[in-house]
């Protein structure tokens, strides 16, 4: 999506939610759960006043439908919202649970993205040595997955630690 189109994503998500009045089981068709998770991811990337509410809504829907991947994505988004609010203990709990679930699925790229968020949390708390080690783990995983853009972002993050 082009940069200008990305800014319109919240409008498109809201319009889609207005068309779909009930939560459907996950499967081949997009459901409200998919939209809730997209909102949670958008909130985690861009921040904003509703990011925690979107993450909670996604987590509740994923829990209700028993979708482990979306539960982990919502947990990560909630952890990011907590980190931004300075609620570090809550952020740590959410990010740790998300990481464990991504590893259990397994979803290695998602786990590595969560390690990046753990790095930011550790950095915010002044735990620079731990942040450096966690970033190295994320980098190793991105390199193994040949996720070059993600690896480059982590290399840049490491330069600033």
- How confident is the model over 62-114, as pLDDT tens digits? 999 999 999 999 999 999 999 999 999 999 999 999 999 999 999 999 999 99
Residue partners of 2: CB distance under 8 A and separation at least 6: none
- What pLDDT shows up at residue 15? 66
Q: Is the pLDDT of residue 22 over 70?
A: no
- What pLDDT shows up at residue 48? 83
The pair of three-digit structure tokens given for residue 49, joined into one six-digit string: 């006043």
Q: Is the pLDDT of residue 39 over 90?
A: no
Range of lowest pLDDT (12-26, 47-61, 122-136): 12-26
For domain 1-105, give the CATH number.
1.25.40
Share of the chain above pLDDT 70, in %: 81
**Confidence band for 35, pLDDT divided at 50, 70 and 90:** confident
Cis? peptide before 61, omega within 30° of 0: no
Torsion of CA 160, 155, 96, 55, to 10 degrees: 90
Q: Is the pLDDT of residue 20 over 80?
A: no
Q: Would you kindly state where each structural domain of the chain is located, as residue ranges?
A: 1-105, 107-161
**pTM value?**
0.83
């Amino acid at each position: 999506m082009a940069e200008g189109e990305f800014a319109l994503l919240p409008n498109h998500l809201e319009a889609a939610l207005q068309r779909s009045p009930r939560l459907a089981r996950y499967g081949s068709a997009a459901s409200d759960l998919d939209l809730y998770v997209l909102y949670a991811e958008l909130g985690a990337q861009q921040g904003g006043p509703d990011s925690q509410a979107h993450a909670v809504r996604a987590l509740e829907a994923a829990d209700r439908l028993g979708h482990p991947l979306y539960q982990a994505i919502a947990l990560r988004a909630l952890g990011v919202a907590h980190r931004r609010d300075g609620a570090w203990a809550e952020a740590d709990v959410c990010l740790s649970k998300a990481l464990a679930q991504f590893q259990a699925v397994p979803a290695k790229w998602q786990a590595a993205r969560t390690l990046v968020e753990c790095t930011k949390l550790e950095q915010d708390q002044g735990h620079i040595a731990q942040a450096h080690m966690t970033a190295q783990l994320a980098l190793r995983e991105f390199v193994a997955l040949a996720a070059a853009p993600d690896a480059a972002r982590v290399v840049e993050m490491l330069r600033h630690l």
